[in-house]
Amino acid sequence: MSTLQRTDPEMAAIIADERTRQVETLELIASENYASAAVLEATGSVFTNKYAEGYPGKRYYAGNQHSDRVESLAIERAQRLFGAEHVNVQPTSGAEANMAAYFATIQPGDTVMGLSLDQGGHLTHGSPVNFSGRLYRFIPYTVDRESETLDMAAIRALARESRPKLIVAGYTAYPRRIDFAAFADIARQNGALLMADMSHIAGLVAGGQHASPVPVSDLVTTTTHKTLRGPRGGMILCKAELAEAVDKAVFPGTQGGPHLHSIAGKAVAFGEALEPAFVDYARQIVENAAALAEALMEGGLRLVSGGTDNHLILADCNSVGISGLKAQNALQGAGVITNKNTIPYDTRSPFVGSGLRLGTPALTSRGMGPAEMRRVASWIVRVLKDPDGEGVRESVREEVAAFARSFPVPGITDVAIAMS
Ligand code: DSN
């Protein structure tokens, strides 16, 4: 029996249920993944006990000799992984990283350009209900109505007209490659700084499957838990001249004590991403997304922009006559976990949405390939074509659970969890 089972059986049971759910369902949420057993171990370590306000060598409390080693190792590995001049590994999330990046570079009221949330941006890219939209004057850019891809000429014209101090490039529901070099040129020509938010594609960048924003951006923010497969958390990479401003904006500007246990997990994940095998993993994510996209289109689903170049797919559920919400819920009933999403120029509310976002990082972490993606697509199409059919849902759920159980889950079924 584990310590938790003995001391808090109620919580132990909830965690066991979640572990079973993660093993028996197919995880297709594009921003989720399975951290390795090593990442989980470091994240659950005794560093959860330590306060370490400040930075390596300059802490406000005593007893930080090992904290300094943890944070320095994370920084050094992140610098090597992404070729960054300076890295701050303390942001506790992507939103915190973005807040600190803004605090380091712009003032309240300044003009910023970002893709709006309903077109595939992020809350912290200027949504009116978020601090970003409340503090700064965000001018949203959009994707082209026909191609549903970023129109760099239109973005260039908008920058010329609106003269932003900062341009944000990086998205949560954009299935195509991002031309960071073109964004950098637009920023330079218009006297703006470029901030890339590579949260979704950080693992693809690390694995050489997407052009890196690091060399051409003034600063880059990211989460560490999506394609990068680390613990929940954020990070900022920047040019040397922004180092001091970024560090001050993180601490004491927006955060207190760093989460050293998460930073330990980040260091382990960066170490894993530095291994040659991570290139194969990143390549497999992209190949799997392409295979899934093709099979979904053959099954009659329209995909936003007509396909994918990265780890994610945005399906237009209008093509099968239902909303994104209905699709998400029907698939959940069949053990296929996705999320509803708006599509560009959506006419439905964000809570309902016309889109369904699907990603391959988590299934790829379980060792699946294109053949498995085609099976997954056939289950998705079966359910979406009969979303009210309980019989279909039931039989797909049984097939999915048996199929899912036959693929190991990193950090769950590849380790002996102390259960007895
Ligand atoms: N929630 C993340 C996503 O799903 O893309 C963004 O913060």
> Ligand 1 center to residue 200 CA distance, Å?
8
Of 320, 365, 313, 321, the C-alpha closest to 338 is 313
Q: Phi and psi dihedrals of 59, rounded to 5?
A: -105, 155
Per-residue tens of pLDDT for the chain, all 420 residues: 899 999 999 999 999 999 999 999 999 999 999 999 999 999 999 999 999 999 999 999 999 999 999 999 999 999 999 999 999 999 999 999 999 999 999 999 999 999 999 999 999 999 999 999 999 999 999 999 999 999 999 999 999 999 999 999 999 999 999 999 999 999 999 999 999 999 999 999 999 999 999 999 999 999 999 999 999 999 999 999 999 999 999 999 999 999 999 999 999 999 999 999 999 999 999 999 999 999 999 999 999 999 999 999 999 999 999 999 999 999 999 999 999 999 999 999 999 999 999 999 999 999 999 999 999 999 999 999 999 999 999 999 999 999 999 999 999 987 644 332
User: What confidence score (pLDDT) does residue 413 get?
Assistant: 86
> Ligand 1 center to residue 122 CA distance, Å?
7
Alpha-carbon distance 92 to 39, whole Å? 16
Alpha-carbon distance 341 to 66, whole Å? 43
Tokens 């306060």 belong to 51
**Ligand 1 pocket mutation, candidates 33, 124, 171, 199, criterion most atoms within 8 A of CB:** 199
Q: 161: Cβ–Cβ under 8 A, 6 or more apart, which residues? A: none
Atom of ligand 1 nearest to the CA of 339: 4
Q: Could you confirm whether 398 is annotated as catalytic?
A: no
Q: Could you confirm whether 53 is annotated as catalytic?
A: yes
31 CB within 6 A, ligand 1: yes
> Ligand 1 center to residue 31 CA distance, Å?
6
In the chain, the domains with their CATH numbers are 40-273 (3.40.640.10), 283-414 (3.90.1150.10)
> Ligand 1 center to residue 29 CA distance, Å?
9
Atom of ligand 1 nearest to the CA of 200: 5
> Ligand 1 center to residue 62 CA distance, Å?
36
Alpha-carbon distance 189 to 184, whole Å? 9
Alpha-carbon distance 204 to 213, whole Å? 11
Of 275, 282, 281, 303, the C-alpha closest to 377 is 303
Contact 36, 270 (CB under 8 A): no
> Ligand 1 center to residue 123 CA distance, Å?
9
> Ligand 1 center to residue 61 CA distance, Å?
34
124 CB within 6 A, ligand 1: no
Atom of ligand 1 nearest to the CA of 223: 7
User: What confidence score (pLDDT) does residue 420 get?
Assistant: 29
Q: Could you confirm whether 345 is annotated as catalytic?
A: no
Strands 312-316 and 234-238: unpaired
What type of residue sits at position 55?
A: Y
Catalytic residue (choose from 19, 80, 156, 232)? 232
Q: Phi and psi dihedrals of 127, rounded to 5?
A: -60, 135
Cα–Cα distances in angstroms (integers) from residue 216 to residues 107, 181, 201, in the given order: 23, 6, 16
Contact 266, 74 (CB under 8 A): yes
Of 122, 52, 23, 180, the C-alpha closest to 15 is 23
Q: Could you confirm whether 197 is annotated as catalytic?
A: yes
Contact 127, 102 (CB under 8 A): no
Q: Could you confirm whether 248 is annotated as catalytic?
A: no
User: What confidence score (pLDDT) does residue 415 get?
Assistant: 64
Atom of ligand 1 nearest to the CA of 172: 5
Catalytic residue (choose from 24, 51, 85, 302)? 51
User: What confidence score (pLDDT) does residue 414 get?
Assistant: 73
Catalytic residue (choose from 50, 165, 176, 226)? 226
Of 34, 30, 126, the C-alpha closest to 341 is 30
**Ligand 1 pocket mutation, candidates 29, 31, 32, 130, criterion most atoms within 8 A of CB:** 31
For atom 4 of ligand 1, the residue with the nearest CA is 31
User: What confidence score (pLDDT) does residue 292 get?
Assistant: 99
227 CB within 6 A, ligand 1: no
Cα angle 316, 321, 323 (rounded to 5 degrees) comes to: 60
Q: 178: Cβ–Cβ under 8 A, 6 or more apart, which residues? A: 150, 169, 170, 171, 196, 201, 210, 211, 213
Catalytic residue (choose from 197, 218, 346, 372)? 197
DSSP H helices, 190-259, are: 202-206, 243-248
94 CB within 6 A, ligand 1: yes
> Ligand 1 center to residue 172 CA distance, Å?
6
234 CB within 6 A, ligand 1: no
Q: Could you confirm whether 232 is annotated as catalytic?
A: yes
